[in-house]
Amino acid sequence: MFVDHTVETAPPASRRVMTGVSERMGYLPAPVRRLAESPQLLDGFLKLSALFETTALDPVAREVLILTVATRNGCEVCVAMHTAKLTELGAPPALVAALRERQPLDDGRLEAVRAFTLEVIATAGAVDDTTLRAFLAHGFTTKNALEVVLGIGAYTTSTLANRLTRAPLDEQLADYAWEGSKA
């Protein structure tokens, strides 16, 4: 149902964004080709994710959040893409495996991110004081708690849109394929 757009076939408002992604990544990912149908969604997601990248959360903590949302929402493409990113960041294979298997993490600080992310989602943001204090006890701040909400928003948008459009896994990510969405 959803079209795999090229820069030439996409709505005009998506073309600039698609060109930028293609230049930055060296290819045009399937999710971008399909999300191009809605220039607002595509541009909005990319702006939100860029904002999330500027937060005070360190890169590995951000990727833990993203992979937590991706596995929770069953987005094969997002899991593969962010497994690759965590691997590039030098994350231990055991950390990546635990995230992909939806298991607690051995690293207490990163587990606090994972657990807090899941609780924010489960409670629609109405986490109790004990949960918030547990997150803060690992060196995070109330600013970081709000940044978690930003990350959840950005990557909920991505995961739901990718699943709706049935975006296929690009061959560039084949080594990071995940079957968890089929479990």
67 Cβ contact list (under 8 Å, min separation 6)? 78, 79, 82, 83, 86, 96, 99, 100
Within a 10 A sphere around the Cβ of 121, how many other Cβ atoms? 18
Per-residue pLDDT of 156-177, as tens digits, reads 999 999 999 999 999 999 999 9
Question: Which domains are present in the chain?
Answer: 55-182 (1.20.1290.10)
Tokens of 19: 């060109």
- The answer to whether residue 181 scores a pLDDT higher than 70 is no
Number of C-beta neighbours around residue 42 at 10 A: 25
Of the candidates 102, 109, 114, which has an alpha carbon nearest to the alpha carbon of residue 136? 109
The amino acid sitting at 122 is A
Instruction: With a cut of 80, say whether residue 152 has pLDDT above it.
Output: yes
Q: What is the mean pLDDT of residues 140-163?
A: 98
Length of the chain: 183
Contact 46, 22 (CB under 8 A): no
Please give the average per-residue pLDDT across 52-65, as a whole number: 98
Determine the Cα–Cα distance for residues 56 and 62; give it in Å rounded to an integer: 9
Question: Cα separation of 75 and 164, whole Å?
Answer: 10
Q: Mean pLDDT across the stretch 54-58? A: 98
Q: What is the pLDDT of residues 64-102, one digit of tens each?
A: 999 999 999 999 999 999 999 999 999 999 999 999 999
